Amino acid sequence: MPTPERTSLAEIVAQAARLLESGGPAAVTMQAVAAAVGVKAPSLYKRVRDREALLGLVGISTADELTRRLTDAGGDLGELLTVFRRFGQERPEAFRLLFASSIDPERLAATSEPVLRATAAIVGSERALDAARLLTSWALGFITMELTGAFRLGGDLDEAFAYGMRHIVGSLTVDQDAVRPAQGS
Amino acid sequence: MPTPERTSLAEIVAQAARLLESGGPAAVTMQAVAAAVGVKAPSLYKRVRDREALLGLVGISTADELTRRLTDAGGDLGELLTVFRRFGQERPEAFRLLFASSIDPERLAATSEPVLRATAAIVGSERALDAARLLTSWALGFITMELTGAFRLGGDLDEAFAYGMRHIVGSLTVDQDAVRPAQGS
DNA sequence: ACCTGAACACCGTTCAAGT
DNA sequence: ACCTGAACACCGTTCAAGT
């Protein structure tokens, strides 16, 4: 005789994400997730293959949320970069998970899309991919170091972010091969 | 009556690093490390506070190794970036650990030193820190995405790296405030 | 002074048994 | 058809007892 469902996959993923953000990956135990959705641990395996798959689903939902924010941000490159950074600050654990685990290529492509459109408008579709990778790499590295606390030599981080943004975006609007190097200091 | 030492802290850290690289963080169990150095798990606690502290020591030794390579690389910025990338490719797990966990600020300062010297020579000591952060962020992000396999939209990664390097290094030799934007595509 | 077996708490996962 | 208790393997860590 059928038993009524006491939870859902969506709720499981949501609670796992909540536990991740509040206590890091170690806090996402199957028992803690089960308790959060009002069920015992073995029941989770009806909806999820194992813990790794569950974390993968959290990663996917994180990617989708980021995609939504980027899409809503409009086409300005500075705006996109700022939204990206703010997302990392608001959900540091989810952000780390997203770029630590490997995500489904199609989801990632969707996340890249707003950035690609913005770079295409500046450097043309030919160079849009390289430019998007330049921007994404820099922002990812900056946010990672900011979250890890690797920026400990002092200085204003907001200013450092603006400095980087100015230089990176600026470099796209210049034909690098035509730039004559300035003298030192 | 004293018992002769059957291992050493250095050997423990070395074996932990070896296990990390060959099987990821999950392979670094206290039992596996103990077996690798010829001892039982409880004995490790004579030399290491707990597993987390052991991984911290692996991180420190990784930072020191990276510092050594960067110092030996000379002062050319492109050379430094290439050495950085190669290190990530050779020791992906150690690289990930290094930038995931938080490392002792002094060790990190030592690692930054070669980069800071190189940027100071180009933009002056005033802006050396911001410039070093720009370069390090970009390289860290690029390597992270390369290792995770996030670059799946095709294209030549060596070329993408060279593209980024050209633009980032190039942007340092230009006064961004004086650059007039080019028109789109 | 270092090493170990035994023990404990905790976790992921499986499965037979319940409804 | 979903849920659970019981069980298993495995892990980190502690500690009394060995040498």
| Cβ-contact A82, A162 below 8 angstroms | no
Q: In this structure, what are the phi and psi dihedrals at residue A109, rounded to the nearest 5 degrees?
A: -60, -40
Task: Look up the pTM and report it.
Answer: 0.93
Looking at chain B, how many residues does it have? 185
Strand C within 7 A of B43 CB: yes
Cα–Cα distance for residue pair A45/A72, rounded to 1 Å:
35
pLDDT at residue A182, rounded to an integer = 47
Those residues whose beta carbons lie under 7 A from strand D are: A 1-3, 5-7, 34, 39-40, 42-43, 46; B 1, 3, 28-32, 41-42, 45, 50-52
Query: What does the pLDDT look like over A91-120, one tens digit per residue?
Result: 999 999 999 887 887 888 899 999 999 999
Quick one: closest CA in A to B109, which residue?
Answer: A153
Tokens of A133: 């990778």
- Distance between CA atoms of residues B122 and B128, nearest Å: 8
Q: What is residue B28's DSSP assignment? A: -
Contacts of A17 (CB under 8 A, 6+ apart): A58, A61, A62, A94
CA distance linking residue B184 with residue B182, whole number of Å:
7
Instruction: Tell me the average pLDDT across A11-31.
Output: 98
Q: Closest by alpha carbon to B131, among B145, B143, B120, B142?
A: B120
* Cα–Cα distance measured from residue A20 to residue A181, given in angstroms and rounded to the nearest whole number: 47
- Percent of chain A whose pLDDT exceeds 70: 93
Interface of A with B in 146-175 (CB under 8 A): 148-155, 159-160, 163-164, 166-168, 170-175
**B176/A170 Cβ within 8 A:** yes
Token pair belonging to B139 = 């390289």
Task: Tell me the pLDDT tens digit for each residue of A134-163.
Answer: 999 999 999 999 999 988 888 899 999 999
- How far off is chain B from A9, nearest CA to CA, in Å? 26
* Residues of chain B predicted below pLDDT 70: 1-2, 175-185
Q: Which two tokens stand for residue A26?
A: 């170690």
Cβ partners under 8 Å of residue B119, min gap 6: B77, B127, B128, B131, B132, B135, B172
Confidence of residue A74 (pLDDT cuts 50, 70, 90): confident
Contact A170 B173 (CB under 8 A): no
Q: What is the pLDDT of residues A20-29, one digit of tens each?
A: 999 999 999 9
Query: With an 8 Å Cβ cutoff, is A121 touching chain B?
Result: yes
What is the CB neighbour count within 10 angstroms for residue A73?
Answer: 18
